[in-house]
Amino acid sequence: MKNPLPQNHLCSLTLLGNLVTKPDIRYQANPVIAIAEFKLATHSKWFDKAAGQYKEWTQYHTVKMIGDVVERSLLQADKGDIVLIQGFMVNSKNSNREIIHATYAHRYPKGYARSINQLHCSGKIINNVKLVTTENNRQLAEFPININFYVYSPISQELRCIDITRTVHVWGKQADYLKDTVMIGDELIIEGKLNYVNNNSKSQLIDAQHVALHKVS
């Protein structure tokens, strides 16, 4: 009997932001294939009730693209251009970083556009949920999930299994619900945005806005 395949989870990320620098495009031989890496800045704005004013936060996403999509989308791209990407989270083997692998990109001229940061994923809870109180006296639930999914590699020309673990933050009433309800091994479907831990490695963080829980049988 063959070993069962890992769970095919969902991991889909859409970003609209500004290029921080001109994309670095290079070519790999055997086969000849274009590879690009760039940083994309997205902006979020919210009203801080405690301070009584609006605040803005900029996030910088490291994005990598491989294949024909690079030449179709990025050859004329420059610093400040607006770029829409669709892709997934991944661990970079070469640099030990948590980055985004984009499978689609479209460039728009320089200008202002409201940022988009949308993340949809599913995964298995692999540790107990803990409640954390922030400096602003807000409570959140924090826990890691494991995400397994398949993508097509333009280099090897075959399906590749991606296995990643990310920390999730859930806020408000959903935090209390998860703390009292979930067990290790439960599946969670998440709608939220991509954030980053404030540490030296800038690890990726899933900031959940809506969650759906699927209990293990």
pLDDT digits (tens, 9 = 90+) for 179-212: 999 999 999 999 999 999 987 778 999 999 999 9
- What is the structure's pLDDT at 216? 75
- What is the structure's pLDDT at 103? 95
The letter for the amino acid at 186 is D
- What is the structure's pLDDT at 205? 96
Model confidence over 158-183: pLDDT tens digits? 888 999 999 999 998 899 999 999 99
- What is the structure's pLDDT at 3? 56
**Residue 74 DSSP label:** S
Residue 33 lies inside a defined structural domain of this protein? yes
Residue 114 lies inside a defined structural domain of this protein? yes
| CATH classification of the domain holding 170 | 2.40.50.140
Model confidence over 7-48: pLDDT tens digits? 789 999 999 999 999 999 999 888 889 999 999 999 987 777
Residue 104 lies inside a defined structural domain of this protein? yes
Does the pLDDT value for residue 51 go beyond 80? no
Residue 150 lies inside a defined structural domain of this protein? yes
Does the pLDDT value for residue 1 go beyond 50? no
Residue 140 lies inside a defined structural domain of this protein? yes
**Residue 178 DSSP label:** H
| pTM recorded for the entire structure | 0.90
> Range of 68's domain?
11-214
Phi (first) and psi of residue 29, to 5 degrees = -95, 160
Residue 2 lies inside a defined structural domain of this protein? no
132 burial level (CB within 10 Å; 0-12, 13-18, 19+):
exposed
Residue 99 lies inside a defined structural domain of this protein? yes
- Taking residue 54's Cβ as centre, other Cβ atoms within 10 Å add up to 9
Residue 4 lies inside a defined structural domain of this protein? no
Overall number of domains in the chain = 1
| Cis peptide bond N-terminal to 144, omega within 30 | no
Do 59 and 44 meet the contact criterion of CB atoms below 8 Å apart?
A: yes
